[in-house]
A and B are shown apart, each in its own frame.
Chain A
């Protein structure tokens, strides 16, 4: 039972980070119908910037975090403006390939600047494990969970009450109607990309604190796809619930099934679940069903 709870807690923590990164993905899809295959590289760039600020310039963690987030936001803006703007309204394949190309460019730049070896964050959180009943948890996990929950609450409030958040929801709903109400759709797209870059950077920094930083961290960009699809591509609650489901499934598979098959099933399981769910619910658990007319 203790093992089960341990796996459950790990799953929820990792899943909450997935949820955060998937939130960025869903946000972009919802507002501009674009699919971002470069999410993992956004995460990588933000994490490396934060790490470099801390280790090379000895900036305290909180300050470095905010500078890195600011940098990510600017990066998101610039990329939307230069690369993605020409693809608004283009077929899905153009969008997919454009962001795949973008991810290749970003990965290459990261590779050139920071190389391939794994780096570790200096210890920010204390290392003494916390006991919750039978379960032993590292403080970094609890902090991650706390930060993710705070971020998710901030975003929920942001979308519900702030003017910009309401404008973003309006754009997602109907671009033309939003335009006619005086909302600048282009500005909304830019903000969506900036937010996506910021949430990915937060996710990356949290994961970097848990596992160390190297180029393989960007694989999370692919892992977030099943999360976003499972919850439904255009549903923000879907992204959060999908993230938790995938995180728990992954950690349970890692705990119970991987010893039986010799490892590796953990990475594959989300995709297996994904295929099954798509067979029965083609638009994910909470996705909006598209009605097509000829």
Chain B
């Protein structure tokens, strides 16, 4: 084993196993392991409120990775994520509450159903591009929400449905801590899956479609198949995130899945970094925590400026919009790129020339 405390001056692989590793350098591998260990230990010391926030961040990250597979890696813009989250949440709600299935069966089925619905709405993607496709997915959002809020007998209409926390062998995931671990395991699986996806033929095909779809078709990529496949894979993860979110908040109702949610998810992958798996996670943390920090900032300042807290809702919108615009102008590749710049700086530090 190499000395982990010195910088590497190159990657020298002597066998296939090294060449195919996700994290190729011992130092990076150690950093990832330490980070994972810290994340696994932190619920033991943090308060329930903070663990709850972390759980929401993680669930948003799972959905965002799903969306990033479609939008960031395959270049198909979708404004319908909110509704797909809803499909996942509702499927799981119906399966557990009405059919009495266990959460462990209902969650994967929720993913599959969302994948099928996503695939259906992805069908026009062969002929539609860019803006036209974006509007078609917006249509998906509107239509799905309409069906959910009108199909009273199945979905409870606008009142929504109540869900229960999952349980396994008599243990119920009631505490914030236990649900965090459930989310954490699924997030790790999702991350590893998508990291590996883009090292495979399918993932490479996705990226080729994004970069220039006609050129991709010329070199023998079946455009229709891979575009619809991207919708399916992406929607699967979004559906899983929807099911997790539904069982966490223990309620699903149509207004929780409005177009605002779709825009929030687009903002997540944009701020995090389009076409970056870890970027989705950074973005999810950033966008989920933004209103939280903003609220505490407003509460702090309202001591000096009374009346500020009434403006909070409006300010939240203004700052959310500003964040999107500023990121687009100054760092279109998002937090993932900022993190990379910082790493690059310190790699050569203190001789950064």
Contact = CB atoms under 8 A, between A and B. Distances in A.
A78 to B, nearest CB: 14
Interface stretch (A161-169, A184-192, A277-285): A277-285
Interface stretch (B34-42, B126-134, B183-191): B126-134
B318 A102 contact: no
Contact of A229 (B135, B140, B314): B135
A278 B132 contact: yes
Contacts of B142: 267-268, 271
Contacts of A261: 150
Interface string B323-347: 1110011001000000000000000
Interface string A24-57: 0000000000010000000000000000000000
A209 interface: no
A30 to B, nearest CB: 13
Contacts of A252: none
B321 A105 contact: yes
Interface in A60-79: none
A293 B217 CA distance: 12
B252 interface: no
A98 B134 contact: no
Interface in B99-145: 124, 127-132, 134-136, 138-140, 142-143
Nearest to B322: A105
Given A92-B77, A111-B317, A294-B212, A98 B143 contact: no
B136 A278 contact: yes
A283 B266 CA distance: 24
A106 B129 CA distance: 28
Contact of B143 (A35, A105, A271): A271
A94 interface: yes
Interface in B242-286: 259, 263, 266-267, 270, 274
A282 B143 CA distance: 19
Nearest to A265: B146
Most A CB atoms within 10 A — which of B134, B142, B323? B142
B280 to A, nearest CB: 15
A176 interface: no
Given A94-B332, A101-B322, A102-B321, A109 B143 contact: no
Contacts of B322: 101, 105
Nearest to B72: A93
Interface residues of B, number: 47
A97 interface: yes
Given A92-B130, A96-B134, A275 B139 contact: yes
Q: SS class of chain B's interface: helix, strand, loop or mixed?
A: helix
B320 interface: yes
B146 A264 contact: yes
Contact of B71 (A93, A100, A112, A271): A93
Interface string A250-293: 00000000000110110110011011001100111000000011
Contacts of A274: 135-136, 139
A294 B218 contact: yes
B71 A278 contact: no
A108 interface: yes
A106 B332 CA distance: 22
A16 interface: no
A243 interface: no
B321 A101 contact: yes
Contact of A108 (B146, B316, B325): B316
A268 B146 CA distance: 7
B45 interface: no
A146 interface: no
A210 interface: no
Contacts of B33: none
B214 interface: yes
B139 A271 contact: yes
B321 A222 contact: no
Nearest to B157: A262
B215 interface: yes
Given A109-B318, A262-B150, A282 B139 contact: no
Nearest to A279: B124
Contact of B328 (A101, A222, A293): A101
Contacts of B139: 226, 271-272, 274-275
Contact of B324 (A97, A109, A264): A97
A34 to B, nearest CB: 10
Interface in A100-129: 100-112
Contacts of A268: 142-143, 146
A225 interface: yes
Contacts of A105: 317-318, 321-322, 325
Contact of B314 (A93, A109, A265, A282): A109
B225 to A, nearest CB: 18
A35 B132 CA distance: 11
B309 interface: no
A91 to B, nearest CB: 8
Q: Which of A101, A272, A294 has the most CB of B within 10 A?
A: A101
29 contacts: A83-B325, A87-B328, A92-B130, A92-B131, A93-B274, A96-B134, A96-B266, A97-B266, A100-B321, A105-B318, A107-B317, A107-B321, A108-B321, A109-B318, A112-B315, A233-B131, A261-B150, A264-B146, A264-B150, A265-B146, A271-B138, A271-B139, A271-B142, A275-B143, A278-B124, A278-B127, A278-B135, A292-B214, A294-B218
| 9 A-B pairs with least C-beta separation | A108-B317, A104-B321, A101-B324, A108-B318, A105-B321, A111-B314, A112-B314, A271-B139, A92-B130
